[in-house]
Amino acid sequence: MADMIGKIHQGDCVAGMKKMSAGAVRLVFADPPFNIGYDYDEYDDRRESSAYLDWSREWIGQVHRILADDGTFWLAIGDEYAAELKLIAQNDFGFHCRSWVIWYYTFGVNCKNKFSRSHAHMFHFVKDAKNFTFNDSEIRVPSARQLVYGDKRANPRGRLPDDTWILRPQDAPDGGFAADHDAWYFPRVAGTFKERMGFHGCQMPEQLLGRIIRVSSNEGETVMDPFTGSGTTLVVAKKLHRKWLGFELSKEYAANVRTRLKKVEPGDDIVGAADPLSSAPSTKNGRRLDESKPRRKQRAADRGPSLFEPEGDHATGRDAV
């Protein structure tokens, strides 16, 4: 097992996890293919529903086996199979769901004949309902009692975030989400963002993974990602002084992630503002399209975050790690 740590293993994650010792990992973060027809280079994302669910049972079962008895499993998944995978994890393998988190973002994907997609589901599972890591002091935020009401009963340590992680509280009306307290606020990594790696169309922000890794593991413990993708889980785990390993089916993605990992060291800052309000203007302070110029030409000239994604019934840039 020791020779697997600190490496990206190119190949099938189910076969790879079968080589791992039982109970060897403290935290697993998984952002699997959503089975919505995304164009991966070496994976068919258009499986029959029954085949997709059977495969999901395989890899979730291996996740359960390799997790320590007090280990934690985070699963990011889209609408299409969120309910099914939640039930598989709970009913087939005995995981306990601590939270069903909704990560809400703007720069969502425009769709045809349905509301545009602007959220992802993230299930927080634990193996033991009473014995698990939850470092609440690592993720507390100021409360409304502290910031708004001047209430002496306020906990000086702040409060835990809500289970809706929202992108743009600065645009909420008075009385809506306050910028500094109980909402998770992480931008989706759009195509023009500096954080974007470029080689992989699906990428979650480092700050999002930072919160998950801090709250669900401790320094020196092992974090595993069965679907490495752009490598964000492993990069953030390395920065936060965790041991890490991952599996990636694509030879190209695996090679690019190895290059990405070589550029970071333990203790490096996590990319992205801890308070994203400092990097995202409010609507009233944003730039407007010049109506005299074609939309696409204006967008290219501005070099700003894209507000217009290709249309389709499903996301063309799923937010995988």
Residue 318 has pLDDT above 70, yes or no: no
121 vs 149 pLDDT, higher one: 121
Q: For residues 104 and 102, what is the distance between their CA atoms, to the nearest angstrom? A: 6
Instruction: Output 40 or 74, whichever has higher pLDDT.
Output: 74
Does the predicted model carry a pTM greater than 0.85? no
Q: Please give the pLDDT value at position 174.
A: 43
Q: Name residue 221's amino acid.
A: E
CB 159, CB 182: distance < 8 Å = yes
Q: Which two tokens stand for residue 266?
A: 């333990």
> Per residue, what are the HEC states of 19-84?
CCCCCCEEEEEECCCCCCCCCCCCCCCCCCHHHHHHHHHHHHHHHHHHEEEEEEEEEEECHHHHHH
With 70 as the cut, is the pLDDT of residue 184 above it?
no
Name the CATH code of domain 2-302 (choices 2.60.40.10, 3.40.50.150, 3.40.50.2020, 3.40.50.300).
3.40.50.150
> Residue 233: what are its φ and ψ, rounded to 5°?
-55, -45
Q: What is the pLDDT of residue 145?
A: 73
Residue 148 has pLDDT above 60, yes or no: yes
Residue 169's pLDDT is 47
- In angstroms, how far is CA 151 from the centroid of its own chain? 34
What does each C-alpha distance from 200 to 97, 109, 238 come to in angstroms?
Answer: 30, 17, 20
